[in-house]
Structure 1
Amino acid sequence: MTTTTSTPRRLGHLGYALAVTPLLRWLIAHHAVPADQPWRTRCEACAAAIWPAVCTPAGQCRTCHTRIGAPPYLVEVLTVAAFGLLLASDVRGWELAAYTWWSLGLLVLAFIDATVLRLPHRLTAAITAGTVVLLAPLGLTGSWRGALIGAGCMAGYYLAVHVASRSGLGLGDVAVAVPIGFGVGWLDWRLIIAVAVLGHSLGAATIVIRRLTNAPRAPLPLGTYLIAASFAVVVTAAAIR
């Protein structure tokens, strides 16, 4: 009986995840602009408001069909995959709510960083604050110490890299280390080492692939790689704890 009732319930939960994808697409299209430009509110080609014109899975303006924001259907696929993996792990209750907010917010940042190499601080702050608020009902039973250590150590490390590299690493990457370290540290702060190693390995693999394919040189979106690595670590750790 448990199996037959839980399966439709999980499918319903995945439906809820799909329901928020128009908002995620709007956030990506709104913020995926170079740092010297204002936030996007209208389609550059036809001046239609991006909400709701560019919030369909096709990833293009419904008025003039210009491509804006994330690639077609990719936000929807990754959102369902992320939420499905969270449901399949051992995350439940308020933790599930917090990690859903955390993962979908970081997904938005990953798309923005991959597009324009930018990690807006206001989105990073919203992800961090929302995660803390959703975990607050757990009270002293939660892993606050590990989360704070993870956030502090990870942000401190990338701040040191930022200073040493003389802005070679952006402050956006330093800031996004806070929610990443907090979310990973909630499970075990030592896992931030795995996130850093995996994230930089993904970046190194990208460099190798570009050289092998003679692709033009381009800056790497480190934040995107760290976000992907953090989600993989969280889902794996939550499933085996």
Structure 2
Amino acid sequence: MAVLWGAGTSLGIPRAAYRFSVPSEEPWRTACPAGHRLDGIGNGWLGRASCTGGDTFGPSKPATTLVMTVVCAVLAAAVGARPELLVWLLLAPIALLLATIDFAVHRLPDVVVLPLTASALAGLGGAALLPGAGGSWRTALLGSLTLGACYFVLFLLNPRGFGFGDVKLAPALGAVLGWYGWGILLIGTFAGFLFGALYGVGLILARRAGRKTAIPFGPFLLAGAFVGILLGSHTV
């Protein structure tokens, strides 16, 4: 079921990613690259990444499907039948959508980030009420507040090196990692920074970026949260 969920939800990511992948000062895209207006569910946010003119757009469908399928399958294998698995599967496509947008335009839109945070806190709150839950909603809430405050301080100290979009993403990451405890929160956060640093160093070594080149940090923070979930699921 997790594999089918991953494959199914991946189909809606390219269209949404295409619409949202614009600079912060520009409105969301309302037409395909060929100029045909986008119609569909949610003012054109959901639906196939193709138009009546036969034009396709957005990130690669096969790649998106592969990533979502693998992520959901790994989550299901690691977490098992615990109730929080439903929350992780719900958050996975939203997280991949955010990562795709950030890679494209270095932006984490509120219209995607805020539902991620709300879904994480509400979903984990519901999971905590069910038997067999592997975490604590109290530490998830405290982790959300703590990581949000810490990232805000980092932004104030170095606004050019740490975007405010990452600050707004922090509460969701803190909730997900905090669910499994403070140790997992630290490990997952460190993993995200490590992944981002390795990516930056790789770009520099490949001479595709300099020391002051901005990189999309959100995808690596999300990857760190994924690592935290996998580790946390084996500690309960």
Retained in 1: the 8 A contact 2:32–2:55?
A: no
Query: 1:105-184 residue pairs with structure 2 within 5 A?
Result: 105-137=94-126, 138-139=128-129, 143-166=136-159, 168-184=161-177
Cα distance in 2 for partners of 1:84, 1:180 equals 21
- Residues 1:90 and 2:56 are matched in the alignment: no
Q: Which moved more, 1:131-140 or 1:69-78?
A: 131-140
Equivalent residue number for residue 31 of structure 2: 42
Question: How many correspondences in the alignment?
Answer: 227
Query: 1:1-241 residue pairs with structure 2 within 5 A?
Result: 12-49=1-38, 51=40, 63=53, 65=55, 68-137=57-126, 138-139=128-129, 143-166=136-159, 168-217=161-210, 218-241=213-236
TM-score, with structure 1 as normaliser: 0.83
C-alpha displacement of 1:227: 0.4
Letter in 2 for 1:63: G
Q: Which runs of 5+ in 2 are unaligned?
A: none
TM-score, with structure 2 as normaliser: 0.85
Letter in 2 for 1:202: F
3-state SS of the aligned residue for 2:79? coil
C-alpha displacement of 1:95: 1.0
Retained in 2: the 8 A contact 1:147–1:182?
A: yes
Q: Which moved more, 1:74-83 or 1:90-99?
A: 90-99
Q: Which moved more, 1:122-131 or 1:163-172?
A: 163-172
Q: Which moved more, 1:191-200 or 1:31-40?
A: 191-200
C-alpha displacement of 1:144: 1.6
Instruction: Show CA shifts across 1:96-116 (max 9, x none).
Output: 111111222111111111111
3-state SS of the aligned residue for 1:193? helix
Identity of aligned residues (%): 25
Instruction: Show CA shifts across 1:13-32 (max 9, x none).
Output: 31232112222222212211
C-alpha displacement of 1:71: 3.0
Q: Which moved more, 1:138-147 or 1:189-198?
A: 138-147
Q: In the superposition, relative to structure 1, how do residues 80 and 166 fare at CA in structure 2: closer, same or farther (>3 Å)?
A: closer
Instruction: Show CA shifts across 1:197-235 (max 9, x none).
Output: 212221221222222222144411111110011111212
Retained in 2: the 8 A contact 1:102–1:183?
A: no
Cα distance in 1 for partners of 2:15, 2:221 equals 23
Misfit runs of 4+, over 4 Å: 50-56, 59-62
Instruction: Show CA shifts across 1:108-156 (max 9, x none).
Output: 1111111111011121111121223333333397612210121112111
